[in-house]
Chain A
Amino acid sequence: MKIFIPTPLRPYADGKDTVDVSARNVGEALAGLVAAHPDLRHHLYTDDGKLRAFVNVYVNDEDVRYLEREATATKEGDTLSIVPSIAGGQVPKAAALSNDEILRYSRHLIMPEVGMEGQERLKAAKVLCVGAGGLGSPLALYLAAAGVGTLGLVDFDVVDYTNLQRQILHSTSDVGRKKLDSAAEKLRAINPYLTLRPFETRLTSDNALEIVREFDLVVDGTDNFPTRYLVNDACVLTRRPNVYGSIFRFEGQVSVFATREGPCYRCLYPEPPPAGLVPSCAEGGVLGILPGLVGVMQATEAIKLILGRGEPLVGRLLLVDALRMSFRELKLRKDPSCPACGEKPTVTRLVDYDAFCGVRGEEATVSTGVPEIQVEELKRMLDAGEDPYILDVREPHEYRICNLGGHLIPLGELPRRLHELDSSREIVAHCRSGGRSAKAIALLRQAGFKKVHNLAGGILAWADRIDRTMPKY
């Protein structure tokens, strides 16, 4: 077969514009070429033997990257073209650094891997951070400090006390403020050169594409499955890399999805878990430091993508276990049959992600179809000496935070401890906010219990409306 040598490489191939080799595949053809003209090796391959990123190889009219790369079979009569890429562009005016900025970023500038070019790239970069909470906090702080020029922040939440254990963008005095306002103040204080683009909205199928298109890459700091799939699909559809992170208790995951060559979130998880199976951080808890650990790794990946340096976590899922302090890596492959990024994608527009994930809206997840009583009614029963059986289905460590003096049987143990209950008494089950106790009531009714009630709003409602001295968590 014939290999066409582009003009710049001919001096290293004895001036030839074509070289004939016999080879069964692309790898053999290139090996044959390099064997005949050893000076070409350095121009085609990096020191560790990989084909240089800017070298495109075409068999006839097909890019081997979309075939089987170096394993692509060839036959007599095929032509192989080596085509170094042609690209460039001006540095946008906005990306030129002032003297003050040069001083500010000097520890970056003196590293050749960043230098002026890299810092200008950072300044020209537009990064969208979805969520200004646990992951969004370290992410936004470090990206702003590092000199990312434009940072978009999507959040519609208000700071509350339970956020402060991990969401370091927000201070005690910010409780009750919009997270975006609190974030803007902190980020501008760290870097006044930052252009901040706040989006005070929930990311939805209606607005996601429009918002994502205005940015170069997306960092996912969301805490629920519907938004995670939404971010992924929006990134695949708009061809923006998705720097993914997630956390639960002591464990975290990080990867880079939706690049041209790499897998997306759906290649890893084609279907969401059944609704309610995987607890959220609000239900299961999270070590406050964990979003710091994971968010900082996401920020690192975002910076590397902008600089075009190093090896991004494309096709690799990093698993962090803070209790064991171990980091493991799983190889991920792009799934050719992936509904989003595969060869025949069926996700060609954004869908209803709540329905896809089996979530019926926030209200519906708490106590549907089971008889409820309000905290005021329970108070009245207790005051009247009616002596209901109070069943607390939370965990023992939660009971220690606050309780109503009820009988503690954690939800998971309930099926085998039903005999402890007295079916002759009125049973009022409660948990923290009403979700787990609704499941407990459903279970009791299946087992034949008749006089059962779910305490609407759980012990939190009790603390709000009956006993304001009770701690909330």
Chain B
Amino acid sequence: MLRIGDAQYQELRRHGEEAYPHESCGVLLGRVAGDERVVTSIVRCGNARLDSPSDRYHIDPRELLRAQRLGRERGDDVVGFYHSHPDHPARWSTTDLAEAHWLGCSYVITSVERGRAEATSSFVLEGKGEDAKRFEEEEVRVASASTSPDEARPGHREGTAASDVRLP
């Protein structure tokens, strides 16, 4: 499960809207507690894929280093990443899986349709290594700042490998 504060949740969705029609991307800092990743802050990153920013993203490793350092200063770790899919569903693509290497981290995807953030889903990169990695969808629980009970936002139900590749 991914636990995230409402402010951070809104912030990463807003980043997707601002970057539209390009893909936004950033780092989630926080702590791991058992099967849960708790996000305490997010770090916006620039999309380093200047050649096709509308359907690819790449975080410059230097930005990642900075985010890691920031996290260490606060006693936080990198627990995941977020990016947006402009005019495309909030499910992982084969490219996302091929280029995901942070096992055990959350990969949050927000679908931005015509400039408006729609569904946000999160997938954990599971498996023992590069040869056997897979995305598992996880629940995103947004802790609202104003309303006390946690508001559960079930992820977008889609995105198994088979449906993603659309075999006949």
A: residues with CB less than 8 A from B are: 4, 6-8, 11, 17, 42-43, 52, 54-56, 58, 61, 63, 81, 83-93, 96-97, 99, 102, 116-117, 120, 124, 216, 239
Contacts and interface: CB of A to CB of B under 8 A. Distances in A.
B155 to A, nearest CB: 17
A117 B165 contact: yes
Given A102-B168, A116-B167, A117-B94, A58 B65 contact: yes
Contact of B65 (A8, A81, A239): A81
Contacts of A86: 25, 27, 58-59, 64, 81, 99, 101-102
Nearest to A92: B55
Given A81-B68, A89-B23, A97-B166, 8 more contacts: A7-B77, A54-B101, A61-B65, A88-B100, A89-B93, A90-B55, A90-B93, A91-B93
A90 B95 contact: yes
B14 interface: no
Contacts of B87: 93
Interface in B74-115: 77-79, 81, 83, 85-88, 92-105, 107
A4 B58 contact: no
Nearest to B92: A88
B104 A88 contact: no
A255 B104 CA distance: 40
Contact of B102 (A7, A102, A120): A7
Contact of A116 (B52, B78, B130, B165): B165
The 8 closest A-B pairs by CB, nearest first: A89-B56, A88-B96, A84-B101, A117-B94, A8-B103, A116-B165, A86-B59, A87-B99
A372 B32 CA distance: 87
A7 to B, nearest CB: 5
B9 interface: no
A122 to B, nearest CB: 13
B62 interface: yes
Main SS at interface, chain A:
mixed
Contacts of A90: 23, 55, 85-86, 88, 93, 95-96
A84 B102 contact: yes
A56 B61 contact: yes
A58 B61 contact: yes
Nearest to A62: B62
Contacts of B56: 87-89
A93 B113 CA distance: 13
Contacts of B96: 88-90
13 contacts: A8-B104, A17-B77, A54-B101, A58-B61, A61-B65, A63-B61, A63-B62, A83-B68, A85-B99, A86-B99, A87-B49, A88-B83, A91-B95
Contacts of A96: 166
Contacts of B88: 90, 93
Contact of B94 (A42, A84, A120): A120
B95 A117 contact: yes
Nearest to A124: B55
Given A89-B55, A90-B88, A117 B78 contact: no
B93 to A, nearest CB: 5
A84 B80 CA distance: 12
A441 to B, nearest CB: 53
B61 A8 contact: no
A185 to B, nearest CB: 30
Contact of B105 (A4, A7, A52, A116): A7
A110 to B, nearest CB: 12
Given A52-B130, A96-B166, A117-B95, A7 B79 contact: yes
Nearest to B48: A87
A354 B77 CA distance: 57
A160 B55 CA distance: 42
B57 interface: yes
A407 to B, nearest CB: 60
Nearest to A55: B101
B35 interface: no
A7 B78 contact: yes
B51 interface: yes
A392 to B, nearest CB: 55
Contacts of B83: 88-89
Nearest to B99: A87
Contacts of B129: 42-43
Contact of B101 (A8, A81, A124): A8
B41 to A, nearest CB: 15
B28 to A, nearest CB: 11
A57 B51 CA distance: 24
Contacts of B130: 43, 52
